A = this chain, B = another copy of it.
Amino acid sequence: MSEQLLVQSPATVANVAAGFDIMGFALNNPFDEIIVRKTKEKGVRIFNETGTFPSMPLEPQNNTCGIALQTYLAHVKPDCGFDLIFKTKIKPGSGIGSSAASAVAGVFGANQLLGEPLKRKDLLRFCMEGERVASGVAHADNVGPALLGGFILVRSYNPLDVVKIDTPECLCAAIVHPQIEVRTEDARAILRKEVLLKDAIQQWGNTAGLIAGLMKNDIGLIGRSLNDVIIEPIRSILIPGFKEVKEAALNAGALGCSISGSGPSIFTLNDSIETAEKVAEAMKSTFEAIGIPTFSYVSKINNEGVKAFHID
Protein backbone atom coordinates (compact mmCIF):
# COMPACT_ATOMS: atom_id res chain seq x y z
CA MET A 1 0.00 0.00 0.00
CA SER A 2 1.13 3.51 -0.86
CA GLU A 3 2.56 5.48 2.06
CA GLN A 4 1.49 8.86 0.74
CA LEU A 5 -1.34 10.44 -1.21
CA LEU A 6 -1.93 13.76 -2.91
CA VAL A 7 -5.36 14.80 -1.71
CA GLN A 8 -7.47 17.37 -3.59
CA SER A 9 -10.24 18.81 -1.45
CA PRO A 10 -12.68 21.26 -3.01
CA ALA A 11 -13.97 24.69 -2.14
CA THR A 12 -17.63 24.77 -1.15
CA VAL A 13 -20.48 27.24 -1.04
CA ALA A 14 -22.41 27.06 2.24
CA ASN A 15 -25.80 28.54 3.17
CA VAL A 16 -26.92 28.82 -0.48
CA ALA A 17 -29.17 31.85 0.16
CA ALA A 18 -32.03 30.74 2.42
CA GLY A 19 -30.30 27.58 3.72
CA PHE A 20 -28.28 29.17 6.52
CA ASP A 21 -26.30 26.45 8.37
CA ILE A 22 -28.08 23.61 6.54
CA MET A 23 -27.02 23.63 2.87
CA GLY A 24 -23.84 23.61 0.84
CA PHE A 25 -22.43 22.40 -2.45
CA ALA A 26 -18.98 21.51 -3.75
CA LEU A 27 -17.07 23.22 -6.56
CA ASN A 28 -14.49 21.81 -8.98
CA ASN A 29 -12.19 24.72 -8.36
CA PRO A 30 -10.45 26.14 -6.39
CA PHE A 31 -9.24 23.35 -4.10
CA ASP A 32 -6.65 22.50 -1.45
CA GLU A 33 -3.84 20.13 -2.39
CA ILE A 34 -2.27 18.41 0.58
CA ILE A 35 0.18 15.50 0.59
CA VAL A 36 -0.81 13.14 3.40
CA ARG A 37 2.09 10.87 4.34
CA LYS A 38 2.09 7.96 6.78
CA THR A 39 4.97 8.08 9.26
CA LYS A 40 6.35 5.54 11.72
CA GLU A 41 6.47 8.22 14.37
CA LYS A 42 3.05 8.83 15.96
CA GLY A 43 1.38 12.25 15.93
CA VAL A 44 0.77 14.89 13.26
CA ARG A 45 3.35 17.19 11.67
CA ILE A 46 2.40 20.05 9.36
CA PHE A 47 4.53 21.54 6.59
CA ASN A 48 3.66 24.62 4.61
CA GLU A 49 4.84 24.47 1.00
CA THR A 50 2.10 26.70 -0.38
CA GLY A 51 4.22 29.78 -0.86
CA THR A 52 1.01 31.85 -0.62
CA PHE A 53 -0.05 31.50 2.99
CA PRO A 54 2.96 32.25 5.22
CA SER A 55 0.92 32.65 8.40
CA MET A 56 -0.50 29.11 8.39
CA PRO A 57 -0.37 27.68 11.94
CA LEU A 58 1.90 24.64 12.02
CA GLU A 59 0.90 23.35 15.47
CA PRO A 60 -1.72 20.65 14.82
CA GLN A 61 -3.96 21.87 17.63
CA ASN A 62 -4.20 25.32 15.98
CA ASN A 63 -4.63 24.10 12.41
CA THR A 64 -8.07 23.03 11.18
CA CYS A 65 -6.58 20.17 9.21
CA GLY A 66 -4.38 19.14 12.15
CA ILE A 67 -7.18 19.21 14.72
CA ALA A 68 -9.57 17.25 12.50
CA LEU A 69 -6.90 14.63 11.83
CA GLN A 70 -5.99 14.39 15.54
CA THR A 71 -9.65 13.85 16.42
CA TYR A 72 -9.86 11.10 13.81
CA LEU A 73 -6.62 9.47 15.04
CA ALA A 74 -7.82 9.53 18.65
CA HIS A 75 -10.79 7.46 17.49
CA VAL A 76 -9.03 5.04 15.12
CA LYS A 77 -5.82 4.71 17.20
CA PRO A 78 -3.48 3.57 14.43
CA ASP A 79 0.10 2.54 15.20
CA CYS A 80 1.55 5.35 13.10
CA GLY A 81 1.48 9.11 12.53
CA PHE A 82 0.95 11.46 9.60
CA ASP A 83 2.69 14.34 7.90
CA LEU A 84 0.51 16.95 6.22
CA ILE A 85 2.34 18.84 3.49
CA PHE A 86 0.26 21.74 2.22
CA LYS A 87 0.95 22.40 -1.49
CA THR A 88 -2.02 24.56 -2.58
CA LYS A 89 -4.34 26.40 -0.22
CA ILE A 90 -7.68 28.09 -0.83
CA LYS A 91 -7.29 31.56 0.64
CA PRO A 92 -8.50 31.56 4.28
CA GLY A 93 -11.33 33.94 5.12
CA SER A 94 -12.71 33.74 1.59
CA GLY A 95 -16.13 32.32 2.45
CA ILE A 96 -15.73 29.32 0.16
CA GLY A 97 -14.82 26.74 2.77
CA SER A 98 -11.05 27.05 3.05
CA SER A 99 -10.90 25.49 6.52
CA ALA A 100 -13.40 22.77 5.56
CA ALA A 101 -11.31 21.78 2.54
CA SER A 102 -8.22 21.34 4.72
CA ALA A 103 -10.02 19.44 7.47
CA VAL A 104 -11.55 17.07 4.93
CA ALA A 105 -8.26 16.54 3.08
CA GLY A 106 -6.34 15.40 6.17
CA VAL A 107 -8.98 13.05 7.55
CA PHE A 108 -9.87 11.59 4.15
CA GLY A 109 -6.22 11.06 3.20
CA ALA A 110 -5.32 9.36 6.48
CA ASN A 111 -8.40 7.12 6.33
CA GLN A 112 -7.41 6.05 2.78
CA LEU A 113 -3.82 5.31 3.84
CA LEU A 114 -5.09 3.20 6.75
CA GLY A 115 -7.19 1.05 4.38
CA GLU A 116 -10.51 2.80 5.04
CA PRO A 117 -11.34 1.68 8.59
CA LEU A 118 -14.27 4.14 8.42
CA LYS A 119 -16.70 4.85 5.59
CA ARG A 120 -16.51 8.24 3.88
CA LYS A 121 -19.76 9.45 5.44
CA ASP A 122 -18.57 8.51 8.92
CA LEU A 123 -15.57 10.85 8.61
CA LEU A 124 -17.88 13.86 8.76
CA ARG A 125 -17.90 14.32 12.52
CA PHE A 126 -14.07 14.44 12.68
CA CYS A 127 -13.93 17.00 9.87
CA MET A 128 -16.48 19.10 11.77
CA GLU A 129 -14.02 19.39 14.67
CA GLY A 130 -11.70 21.30 12.34
CA GLU A 131 -14.56 23.72 11.70
CA ARG A 132 -14.98 24.21 15.42
CA VAL A 133 -11.40 25.49 15.61
CA ALA A 134 -11.85 27.71 12.56
CA SER A 135 -15.12 29.38 13.46
CA GLY A 136 -16.12 28.32 16.96
CA VAL A 137 -19.01 26.24 15.58
CA ALA A 138 -18.78 22.64 14.35
CA HIS A 139 -20.94 23.29 11.30
CA ALA A 140 -21.26 20.77 8.49
CA ASP A 141 -22.48 22.78 5.52
CA ASN A 142 -18.94 23.13 4.10
CA VAL A 143 -17.30 19.89 5.28
CA GLY A 144 -20.38 17.90 4.17
CA PRO A 145 -20.13 18.76 0.47
CA ALA A 146 -16.29 18.85 0.49
CA LEU A 147 -16.27 15.27 1.82
CA LEU A 148 -19.29 13.80 0.05
CA GLY A 149 -19.49 15.94 -3.09
CA GLY A 150 -22.64 17.37 -4.62
CA PHE A 151 -25.35 19.40 -2.95
CA ILE A 152 -25.75 18.54 0.72
CA LEU A 153 -28.63 19.21 3.08
CA VAL A 154 -27.76 19.05 6.79
CA ARG A 155 -31.27 18.36 8.06
CA SER A 156 -30.17 18.19 11.68
CA TYR A 157 -27.03 18.55 13.77
CA ASN A 158 -28.20 16.64 16.81
CA PRO A 159 -28.31 13.88 15.74
CA LEU A 160 -26.28 14.59 12.61
CA ASP A 161 -28.44 13.89 9.54
CA VAL A 162 -26.94 14.62 6.14
CA VAL A 163 -28.81 14.14 2.85
CA LYS A 164 -27.41 14.35 -0.69
CA ILE A 165 -29.70 16.18 -3.12
CA ASP A 166 -29.61 15.57 -6.88
CA THR A 167 -29.13 18.71 -8.95
CA PRO A 168 -29.81 19.58 -12.60
CA GLU A 169 -26.91 18.68 -14.89
CA CYS A 170 -26.85 22.15 -16.44
CA LEU A 171 -26.49 24.01 -13.14
CA CYS A 172 -23.29 26.05 -12.91
CA ALA A 173 -21.98 28.30 -10.15
CA ALA A 174 -20.18 31.60 -10.58
CA ILE A 175 -18.32 32.89 -7.55
CA VAL A 176 -16.43 36.10 -6.95
CA HIS A 177 -14.01 36.59 -4.11
CA PRO A 178 -13.33 40.27 -3.46
CA GLN A 179 -9.98 40.75 -1.76
CA ILE A 180 -11.31 42.06 1.52
CA GLU A 181 -11.43 40.23 4.82
CA VAL A 182 -14.59 39.15 6.65
CA ARG A 183 -13.87 37.01 9.73
CA THR A 184 -16.32 34.15 10.24
CA GLU A 185 -16.57 35.03 13.93
CA ASP A 186 -17.53 38.62 13.09
CA ALA A 187 -20.05 37.48 10.49
CA ARG A 188 -21.65 35.28 13.17
CA ALA A 189 -21.47 37.94 15.88
CA ILE A 190 -23.54 40.52 13.97
CA LEU A 191 -26.49 38.15 13.54
CA ARG A 192 -29.51 38.66 15.75
CA LYS A 193 -30.42 35.78 18.10
CA GLU A 194 -34.11 36.28 17.34
CA VAL A 195 -35.83 36.64 13.98
CA LEU A 196 -39.37 37.58 13.01
CA LEU A 197 -41.66 34.58 12.59
CA LYS A 198 -42.95 36.06 9.32
CA ASP A 199 -39.40 36.20 7.95
CA ALA A 200 -38.68 32.67 9.16
CA ILE A 201 -41.80 31.45 7.31
CA GLN A 202 -40.55 33.07 4.10
CA GLN A 203 -37.14 31.50 4.67
CA TRP A 204 -38.42 27.95 5.19
CA GLY A 205 -40.65 28.37 2.12
CA ASN A 206 -37.48 29.11 0.19
CA THR A 207 -35.42 26.23 1.65
CA ALA A 208 -38.23 23.82 0.81
CA GLY A 209 -38.62 25.46 -2.62
CA LEU A 210 -34.91 25.16 -3.39
CA ILE A 211 -34.87 21.43 -2.59
CA ALA A 212 -37.99 20.91 -4.71
CA GLY A 213 -36.52 22.94 -7.58
CA LEU A 214 -33.21 21.05 -7.53
CA MET A 215 -34.91 17.64 -7.42
CA LYS A 216 -37.52 18.55 -10.06
CA ASN A 217 -34.95 20.09 -12.42
CA ASP A 218 -37.07 23.23 -12.26
CA ILE A 219 -34.66 26.06 -13.04
CA GLY A 220 -37.30 28.74 -12.52
CA LEU A 221 -38.19 27.45 -9.07
CA ILE A 222 -34.50 27.26 -8.12
CA GLY A 223 -34.11 30.90 -9.06
CA ARG A 224 -37.22 32.05 -7.19
CA SER A 225 -36.09 30.11 -4.08
CA LEU A 226 -32.60 31.62 -3.95
CA ASN A 227 -33.74 34.37 -1.64
CA ASP A 228 -32.44 34.94 1.89
CA VAL A 229 -34.52 37.43 3.91
CA ILE A 230 -32.79 36.83 7.26
CA ILE A 231 -29.00 36.57 7.03
CA GLU A 232 -28.10 38.37 3.80
CA PRO A 233 -29.68 41.73 4.76
CA ILE A 234 -27.41 41.82 7.84
CA ARG A 235 -24.19 40.26 6.57
CA SER A 236 -24.16 42.11 3.27
CA ILE A 237 -23.35 45.26 5.27
CA LEU A 238 -19.84 43.80 5.71
CA ILE A 239 -19.32 43.58 1.92
CA PRO A 240 -18.86 46.95 0.19
CA GLY A 241 -20.64 46.99 -3.18
CA PHE A 242 -22.77 43.92 -2.40
CA LYS A 243 -26.00 45.42 -3.70
CA GLU A 244 -24.46 46.56 -6.98
CA VAL A 245 -22.67 43.24 -7.53
CA LYS A 246 -25.85 41.28 -6.92
CA GLU A 247 -27.74 43.53 -9.31
CA ALA A 248 -25.05 43.05 -11.95
CA ALA A 249 -25.24 39.26 -11.51
CA LEU A 250 -29.02 39.15 -11.89
CA ASN A 251 -28.90 41.50 -14.88
CA ALA A 252 -26.33 39.20 -16.51
CA GLY A 253 -28.74 36.28 -16.17
CA ALA A 254 -27.97 34.60 -12.83
CA LEU A 255 -30.83 32.52 -11.39
CA GLY A 256 -30.03 33.90 -7.94
CA CYS A 257 -27.21 35.50 -6.01
CA SER A 258 -26.24 35.62 -2.34
CA ILE A 259 -23.31 35.54 0.07
CA SER A 260 -21.17 32.39 0.01
CA GLY A 261 -20.75 31.11 3.55
CA SER A 262 -20.03 34.04 5.81
CA GLY A 263 -18.57 36.05 2.91
CA PRO A 264 -16.98 38.07 1.47
CA SER A 265 -17.32 35.73 -1.53
CA ILE A 266 -20.59 35.99 -3.44
CA PHE A 267 -22.05 33.07 -5.35
CA THR A 268 -24.63 32.70 -8.07
CA LEU A 269 -26.31 29.68 -9.61
CA ASN A 270 -26.85 29.76 -13.37
CA ASP A 271 -28.53 27.74 -16.09
CA SER A 272 -25.32 27.09 -18.08
CA ILE A 273 -21.55 27.53 -18.10
CA GLU A 274 -21.94 30.31 -20.66
CA THR A 275 -24.28 32.31 -18.41
CA ALA A 276 -22.04 31.63 -15.41
CA GLU A 277 -19.05 33.06 -17.25
CA LYS A 278 -20.92 36.22 -18.19
CA VAL A 279 -22.19 36.57 -14.62
CA ALA A 280 -18.71 36.08 -13.11
CA GLU A 281 -17.33 38.77 -15.40
CA ALA A 282 -20.16 41.18 -14.56
CA MET A 283 -19.65 40.70 -10.81
CA LYS A 284 -15.87 40.96 -10.98
CA SER A 285 -15.93 44.15 -13.01
CA THR A 286 -18.48 45.69 -10.64
CA PHE A 287 -16.19 45.07 -7.66
CA GLU A 288 -13.15 46.29 -9.57
CA ALA A 289 -14.97 49.46 -10.59
CA ILE A 290 -15.05 50.39 -6.89
CA GLY A 291 -11.38 49.51 -6.49
CA ILE A 292 -11.63 46.00 -5.00
CA PRO A 293 -9.40 43.42 -6.75
CA THR A 294 -11.48 40.27 -7.22
CA PHE A 295 -10.92 36.61 -8.09
CA SER A 296 -13.65 34.77 -9.93
CA TYR A 297 -14.46 31.08 -10.40
CA VAL A 298 -16.91 29.25 -12.62
CA SER A 299 -17.72 25.66 -11.76
CA LYS A 300 -20.36 23.02 -12.23
CA ILE A 301 -21.39 21.27 -9.06
CA ASN A 302 -18.67 18.80 -8.08
CA ASN A 303 -20.47 15.55 -7.39
CA GLU A 304 -17.35 13.65 -6.39
CA GLY A 305 -15.99 15.64 -3.46
CA VAL A 306 -12.50 15.12 -2.04
CA LYS A 307 -10.26 12.71 -3.97
CA ALA A 308 -6.82 11.23 -3.55
CA PHE A 309 -4.05 10.28 -5.99
CA HIS A 310 -1.23 7.87 -5.27
CA ILE A 311 2.16 9.47 -5.61
CA ASP A 312 5.64 8.01 -5.22
Residues of chain A having any CB pair with chain B under 8 Å: 18-23, 153-156, 161, 163, 165, 191-198, 200-212, 215-216, 218, 221, 224-225, 230
Contact = CB atoms under 8 A, between A and B. Distances in A.
A224 B194 contact: no
Nearest to A166: B216
B204 A203 contact: yes
A196 B216 CA distance: 31
Contacts of A207: 204-205, 207-208
Given A156-B202, A205-B22, A209-B155, A224 B161 contact: yes
Contacts of A20: 201, 204
B209 A212 contact: no
A201 to B, nearest CB: 5
A81 to B, nearest CB: 37
Contact of A156 (B191, B198, B224): B224
A208 B22 contact: yes
Contacts of A216: 163, 215
A215 B221 CA distance: 15
Given A22-B201, A204-B207, A212-B215, 16 more contacts: A19-B208, A153-B205, A154-B205, A155-B224, A155-B225, A156-B202, A156-B209, A161-B209, A163-B216, A193-B198, A194-B197, A195-B200, A200-B230, A207-B208, A211-B211, A215-B216
Contact of A195 (B19, B197, B202, B208): B197
Nearest to A220: B161
Q: List 4 tightest A-B contacts by C-beta distance, closest first.
A: A155-B209, A204-B204, A200-B200, A204-B207
A162 to B, nearest CB: 10
A153 B8 CA distance: 39
A216 to B, nearest CB: 8
A20 B205 CA distance: 9
B200 A203 contact: yes
B155 A206 contact: yes
Nearest to A159: B224
Given A163-B212, A224-B155, A225-B155, A197 B191 contact: yes
Nearest to A194: B194
Given A197-B191, A209-B155, A212-B153, A204 B163 contact: no
A163 B19 contact: no
A137 to B, nearest CB: 11
